Amino acid sequence: MHGLVYRGPGQRSWEEVPRPQLRDPGDAIVRLTTSTICGTDLHILKGDVPSVTAGRVLGHEGIGVVTEVGPGVSTFAVDDRVLISCITSCGRCDFCRRQMYSHCRQGGWILGNTIDGTQAEYVRIPFADTSLYALPADGDEEALVMLSDILPTGFECGVLSGQVAPGNTVAIVGAGPIGLAALLTAQLYSPSSVVMIDIDDARLAMAKTFGATTLVNSADGGAVQRVLDLTDGLGVDVAIEAVGVPATFDICQAILAPGGRLANVGVHGAPVSLHLEKLWDRNITITTRLVDTVTTPKLLTMVGTGRLEPRRLVTHRFALHDILQAYDTFEHAAREGALKVILHSDPAASH
């Protein structure tokens, strides 16, 4: 089979790799039908995630069909259609019992990180019973694959950690896929306003169609003052950082009202400055989190009923074997007008 292989910072290749085999009783082998590329994959390619070593097949999002199961798998069977969670959980360890699946003693974020991932024709899923979700036969794969990672990430790490509540003023810094996922799910809690901040006017325009009430282009450095002007100098109740660079974290710190919550979602590859000299007396809460996917069942229900429409995040589609072109498109998102790129497998090529 073939997979997208990380060969060191800035280096990737679509190459022949060994087809995964069952290793443990709880494993399942899944043939990918739909996958996608995450912003975290771009951080990996920059060298920001040292746990990813050369030779790793990337990817942690996908939908597929089960082709093999180990003797310890009781929930799934061959030919089942499944959603692959970006988080692998044993379901038994102390962290899993606390619903901190991202810190599972034997799992967590391992796909495309410490074990081979989903940007391939087949993938091995450890702890399949607690790391896969059954899907209806007629479910829209382009919508449902957003529940592998970005929708629960924006919801849990941004909206829930930020404790968005009815009537709150919310600012989301970064109008990429994660920021837009936070925007979609923040509206479930009826905030009074949602300010979207980005340097790309096209993405801001997209955010407007997703429900943002105010758009702020931060390219000129004046975003903080504009947000303060919008809030009569007070600042916002919740600031969600959805990029992962020092400049956007700085904006979040500077626009918080007293008692505000800063929910960091972005993957940071460089140090940021924490301005305690300004924040020490303002009753500010700062949260960090890796998605635990505890809300995936709830989100599956809402997508199934049409309450959430994550398919709107999809802008580009490629065959899996054209993944290098897909990466080029995703890396140049502003130039290409890209949000989420979908990778569809060719069933004939997987045999």
Domains 2-149+293-350 and 153-287 share a fold: no
Confidence of residue 347 (pLDDT cuts 50, 70, 90): low
- Could you tell me which residues are beta bridge partners of residue 132? 84
> What fold is seen in the domain 153-287?
Rossmann fold (3.40.50)
How far apart (Å, rounded) are the C-alpha atoms in residues 325 and 135? 29
Burial (Cβ within 10 Å: 0-12, 13-18, ≥19) of residue 262 = buried
For the chain, where are the E strands, in sequence order? 2-6, 12-16, 28-36, 56-57, 62-69, 81-84, 122-125, 132-134, 169-173, 193-198, 214-217, 236-241, 256-264, 285-287, 314-319, 340-344
Q: What is the pLDDT of residues 82-94, one digit of tens each?
A: 999 999 999 999 9
- Could you tell me the pTM of the whole model? 0.94
Amino acid code (one letter) for 29: I
The mean pLDDT value for 261-278 works out to: 95
- What the block records as the tokens of 4 is 């997208």
Angle formed at CA 117 by CA 116 and CA 121, multiple of 5 degrees? 105
Handedness of CA 3, 134, 36, 148 (dihedral sign): negative
CB–CB of 119/59 below 8 Å?
A: yes
Q: Is CATH 3.90.180.10 correct for 2-149+293-350? A: yes
pLDDT at res. 279: 96
Helices (H), the chain: 39-46, 94-97, 128-131, 141-144, 150-153, 177-186, 201-210, 223-230, 246-254, 276-279, 296-304, 323-331, 333-336
Q: What are the sequence ranges of the domains in the chain?
A: 2-149+293-350, 153-287
Please check the confidence at residue 215 and state whether its pLDDT lies above 80.
yes
Query: What 8-state DSSP symbol labels residue 214?
Result: E
How far apart (Å, rounded) are the C-alpha atoms in residues 176 and 46? 18
- What the block records as the tokens of 98 is 């606390």
Q: Please choose, from the candidates 35, 36, 38, 66, the residue with its C-alpha nearest in 3D space to the C-alpha of residue 52.
A: 38
Q: What is the pLDDT of residues 22-52, one digit of tens each?
A: 999 999 999 999 999 999 999 899 998 999 9
Q: What is the pLDDT of residues 141-196, one digit of tens each?
A: 999 999 999 999 999 999 999 999 999 999 999 999 999 999 999 999 999 999 99
